[in-house]
Amino acid sequence: MVALVAQSIPIDAALDACWFQFGVADILRRAQGHAFGAFGLNPNECPYQVIASGPFWRLRDYTKHDTAQSLLIVAAPIKRPYIWDLAPTASAIRFCLGQDLHVHLLEWLPASRTTGNNGLTEYTEAISDCVAKISGESAGVKPFLIGHSLGGTLAAIFGALAPTSIRGLLLLGAPLCFRPTTSRFRDGLVALVPSGLTEAEPCPGSLLSHVSALASPDTFIWSRLTDAAFSITDSHAMEIHTRVERWALDEVPLPGKLVHQIIEWLYRENLFCQGALRIGGTLVGPQGVSVPTLAIINTADDVAPLDSVKPFIDAMPTSDVRIIEYPGEIGVGLQHLGILIGREAHAQVWPDIASWINSHR
């Protein structure tokens, strides 16, 4: 840990000096992704229509079955949302459509200098707009809210702010508690990223990728290499692993304000779990999440381990809460993505997710 802290000074200088270079790296990495696509690895997404939008978001609608129970996916703001629909054989969206759910997805658009001044409050307001749109089109029937990774964190923040507007909350690999020692990734990230990171400029996605790899090389480098080695003899696993690598190259810039608030308010200060996160003038925390909640934990994932979820869950006022532990698997590239794309996850965990939704309609 001392070594990590010692690195924060040169990294601070590097961030100031290399912001432009990381923006160029975004372009180069996307070009690499397009090269992967030339070999048939471009995303193969379900058809959808955009039914609402804002300056930095779009609401996708994947079906016209208005009588079905609505499910709103809150995509993570990092990279592209097609990780939810990576391939016909590894698609959480296709699974949900097969369960007669009316699927929507909130997609975050790449940040720019004109639309980049958005933080947690603005992102939460966008979720509110989408929930209102969905409820208005379905005669007031409340949607379920589901999110993975930081998408799940954003969904939980909205669930704490406006619990009466949704039917239930599903959190997949979503970190909620950021106390020291909850995960090596959290501790490494806080040690590496200096306080006072600029909010004025969009943050290149490749910068976040590089910092994440430095914070947890086991998670973002060595485990990926191990997964590739074990996937070589399994054609399906190797295809999905390769598609994940193509997706990982699809970098998009994030608002500097959002990145600053996530690192400072969540990771460094743990304000959400303490009930001290201020969203639009209202303090939110676990005490506000009163809706039925299902949390999925990948025990092989160091980004959102059990210790980053359970303290928050234990502090919620509702007793209608369930945690499912999933052991991870080979052929998913990053264990953090396993719940969305893994064969074992789709065979064993997603039927439990569908059953939980059905029992709470």
pLDDT digits (tens, 9 = 90+) for 14-56: 555 666 788 888 889 999 999 988 888 898 899 999 999 999 9
Ramachandran region, residue 150 (left: φ > 0; alpha: ψ -120 to 50; beta: rest): alpha
pLDDT digits (tens, 9 = 90+) for 219-261: 999 999 999 999 999 999 999 999 999 999 999 999 999 999 9
Predicted local confidence at residue 5, as pLDDT? 41
Rounded mean pLDDT, 89-102: 95
Closest-CA residue to 147 (of 79, 73, 83): 73
> Rounded to whole angstroms, how far apart are CA atoms 175 and 285?
13
Closest-CA residue to 171 (of 265, 271, 297, 305): 297
pTM of the model: 0.93
Q: What proportion of the chain, given as a percentage, has pLDDT over 90?
A: 81
Predicted local confidence at residue 15, as pLDDT? 56
Mean pLDDT check: name the lowest of 56-65, 91-100, 314-323, 339-348: 56-65
Predicted local confidence at residue 9, as pLDDT? 46
Predicted local confidence at residue 169, as pLDDT? 98
